[in-house]
Amino acid sequence: MKRQPAGWALIGPPWGWLLLFFVAPLLLMAIYSLRPDMSGGLFNLDWTPTLKHYRTILEGESYLLLLGTSVRVAFVIAAMSTLLAYPLAYFLVFRAGKRAPLFLTLLIIPFWTSYLLRIIAWRIILRTTGLYALNSKVLLLDSFGAGEPFAIGLYRVTVIITLTYVWIPFVALPIFAGLQRIDRSLLEAAAILGSPPWRSFVRVTLPLSLPGVIAGFLMVFIPTVGEYVTPVLVGGSRSSLIGNIIQTFFGSGINWPLGSAMALIMLVGVLGLTILVARLIDLRRYLE
């Protein structure tokens, strides 16, 4: 642990790369969100900072509503894939025995096939089987007065199904890792002290595996909040998420400052949530 110059020579280039291509772009985006419009280049300093885009977003109900919807849809997808993946991981760690590595590999192979293609595969399935019409059927159902929170999910039913499917093997990994770290002697102790298997699970296995579960949940939640490809590929006419709107502002409906403001709000939300959850996990450690 000495020789600082050599150490700096090693760590300097990655530091520089991250500052230049990760920190700087995000800062520029924050600055851009304060610009009134897009006139002039970025180095045109002839503009006064304004919060009008933030005002547009916060006052115009539709953007916030869509952001809320996207968060809820991402939450449902993350929760469903976590719930479905947990028994898989549990099976691999506690039941599969010697064949666990093989079973794990079999589970991961679908994950290594192109993300885009698995979504396209669902597009083919949904179209071939006629399930695609589900989205428009839902519209019909809505006219009979289905409740609003219910409708949010229904408009995006094909998106939710597809993304849950895509993420299951991915979420299984951190849960698997978390379950594997559990000291088996704790379970033996519980059994010897007369705890029935279900209670050992609820009181020992489940709490100890929570960090892995939460990590898996976040690993799905974060990319899903920003998702914009899946609604385009498998969704119906009303399945847009906030990502689609941001993408539009940077694409055809050119309004980069407004798009930047929206992206920044989303980023702060996602990071805030992640920090909160990380704190919660740490807090649990202190309590134990």
Partner 1 sequence: MSRRGFPLLSLYYLGLLLLLYFPIGVLVLFSVNDGTTLAFPLRGLTVHWYQDMLGNRVLLNAVRNSALVALFSSLCATTLGSAAAIGVLRFDIRGKLAFVALALMPLLVPFLILGVALLILFAAFDIPRSLLTVAIGHTVVSLPYTLLIVMARLVGFPSNLEEAAEDLGASYAYTLRRVILPLIAPGMLAAWLVAFTVSFDEFVLTSFLIGRDPTLPVFIVGQLRFANRFPQVVALAIVVMLVSLTLVVIAEWVQRAGSAASLSRRASPAGAAAPVGLAAVQTGT
What does the block give as tokens for 136?
Answer: 């428009």
List the one residue out of 60, 70, 36 whose CA is nearest residue 222. Answer: 70
Tokens at residue 113, please?
Answer: 């096939």
Min. distance of Cβ 156 from partner 1 in angstroms?
17
Treating both helix axes as pointing N-terminal to C-terminal, what angle do 100-112 and 157-180 enclose, rounded to 10 degrees? 150
**Cα 105 from chain centroid (whole Å):** 23
Closer to partner 1 at the Cβ: 134 or 151? 134
The distance of closest approach from Cβ of residue 119 to partner 1 in the complex, given in angstroms and rounded to an integer, is: 9
| Neighbour tally for 20: CB within 10 Å | 10
Beta carbon of residue 198, minimum distance to partner 1 (angstroms, whole number): 12
Residue 59 beta carbon to partner 1: minimum distance, rounded to whole angstroms: 22
The residue (of 178 and 235) whose beta carbon lies closer to partner 1 is 178
Spatial distance between the Cα atoms of 176 and 73, rounded to a whole number of angstroms: 25
Nearer to partner 1, 28 or 133 (CB): 28
Determine the Cα–Cα distance for residues 226 and 243; give it in Å rounded to an integer: 5
- CA-nearest of 108, 81, 80 to 92 is 108
In sequence order, what are the residues at sequence separation of 6 or more whose Cβ sits closer than 8 angstroms to the Cβ of residue 45?
A: none
Nearest approach, Cβ of residue 189 and partner 1 (Å): 18
CB closer to partner 1, 25 vs 149: 25
CB of 146 to partner 1, least distance (A): 28
In the DSSP assignment, the letter for residue 132 is: G
The smaller minimum CB distance to partner 1, of residues 81 and 135, is found at 81
Our CB check for partner 1 shows the closer of 32 and 63 to be 32
C-alpha 169/C-alpha 272 separation (Å) is: 26
Q: Nearer Cβ to partner 1, position 138 or 166?
A: 166
> Nearest approach, Cβ of 12 to partner 1 (angstroms)?
8
**String of DSSP letters for 5-51:** HHHHHHHHHHHHHHIIIIIHHHHHHHHHTT-S---S-TT--------
